[in-house]
Amino acid sequence: MSDGYSVRPVRGIPEIAEGTDLAQVIAEHAPDLADGDIVVISSKIVSKAEGRVVPGDDRRAAIRAETVRVVAERGETQIVQTRHGFVMAAAGVDNSNVAVGSLVLLPLDPDESARTIRAGLGGKRVGVIVTDTFGRTWRVGQTDLAIGAAGVQVLDDHRGRVDAHGNELAVTAPAIADELAAAAELAMGKLAQVPVAIISGLDVWVLDEDGPGVRALVRPSEDDMFRLGTREAWRETLTMPRTVDELAEEPVDPDAVQRIAALAVTGEGWGIASFSAKPWTDALGLPSSVPFIAVPYVTTKRSSSLLMLGAALDRLLVACTIERLGAMHVSFEDVRKQLAKALPDDAVPVSVIAVGATQIER
């Protein structure tokens, strides 16, 4: 824990051109830089020094070129994943604080950029953080976050530690690099043309080595509960299999079952009947935990009835996919007598679909 810290802007830094030695510029304008300090640098000047400024005003084309995955979109706004793994608006492509008719792209490897700048700062034991502006899910407004780091502990993992009340911490892990970036932005501002700030008094977070960089803060996709945006989730649902070959002997969420059962509707000349699976599981060879049977049927041979039934059945199968349940077609020969009693007199069953748990990842 620190007794306090200070953040001071580095003023007077000139317009940066491609090839500029940023370490030299920073050293000239921050002659009081000392061991234990942390240098926080806007990615804008790093990109300019590294030649990541492109001519033109086709921002959408630039965003597409920098995007590896569209996460969400609404109108002209896109939230995307960049090659670095960052999920952010517009892939970090920016046309502010740059000559008219130009676009600034993020550095190719911000961690390497930070390492290079740190190495050029005269051998001082300092940390370097490269920042960019991000929005936050569920929050209005933006803040600066770290996109590159060298010589800084980027994460302080508290898991396994015990708090003052004796409680073991299970998930607490402050993102130190992001907190430092946000603190520095208050001194740099957005309109003051101050692209560098120095943080003093937090040498506890400065490392002797370069460290893992910000890449260590990028959440692996398998741990990301919000990996998909709305449209991307819809698209992925369309590519997933509608039915499975086997159901698992596992309990399922009763609320999910009720939502699916509510889609078992009836129209003129067709219907989807729903039943509790308990009387049917043995006859159909199903796991005892299967809660729900759906029986699509027609009462006439009109093609329109089959089309309407097909559309309703597809909605039900898609709902199973969304609810992470399996839908399995089963033979109804063994339960034909039960079906005859359960369905309308003139109903002809099309199939029997059992809904339950599945081992397939949804």
Q: What residues have CB less than 8 Å from 174, skipping those under 6 apart?
A: 155, 156, 158
**Per-residue pLDDT, 158:** 65
Do 25 and 166 sit in the same domain of this protein? yes
203 within domain boundaries: yes
361 within domain boundaries: no
* Residue entry with tokens 């889609």: 263
Q: What residues have CB less than 8 Å from 92, skipping those under 6 apart?
A: 43, 66, 82, 86, 105, 106, 132, 147
| CA-based nearest residue to 202, from 158, 156, 164 | 156
**Per-residue pLDDT, 121:** 95
The token pair at 184 is 């520095």
Do 210 and 289 sit in the same domain of this protein? no
- CA angle centred on 117, ends 115 and 122, rounded to 5°: 110
Do 70 and 208 sit in the same domain of this protein? yes
Q: Which domain holds residue 348?
A: 240-356
Under 8 Å between Cβ of 275 and 295 = yes
314 within domain boundaries: yes
Number of domains in the chain: 2
**Per-residue pLDDT, 91:** 94
Report which DSSP code applies to 178: H
Dihedral sign of CA atoms 22, 25, 29, 34 in order: positive
CA distance 82 to 78: 12
Characterise 141 by phi-psi region: left (phi > 0), alpha (psi -120 to 50), beta (else): left
83 within domain boundaries: yes
Do 342 and 268 sit in the same domain of this protein? yes
Q: What residues have CB less than 8 Å from 94, skipping those under 6 apart?
A: 44, 103, 104
Last residue of a domain, one of 226, 255, 290: 226
Do 149 and 275 sit in the same domain of this protein? no
Last residue of a domain, one of 226, 261, 283: 226
Question: For the chain, which residues score pLDDT lower than 70?
Answer: 1-2, 158-160, 169-171, 191, 301-303, 361-362
Q: pTM for the whole thing?
A: 0.73
CATH of the domain at 116: 3.30.1330.100
331 within domain boundaries: yes
Do 57 and 148 sit in the same domain of this protein? yes
Do 13 and 81 sit in the same domain of this protein? yes
**Per-residue pLDDT, 202:** 96
Do 153 and 260 sit in the same domain of this protein? no
**Per-residue pLDDT, 113:** 98
Do 331 and 247 sit in the same domain of this protein? yes
234 within domain boundaries: no
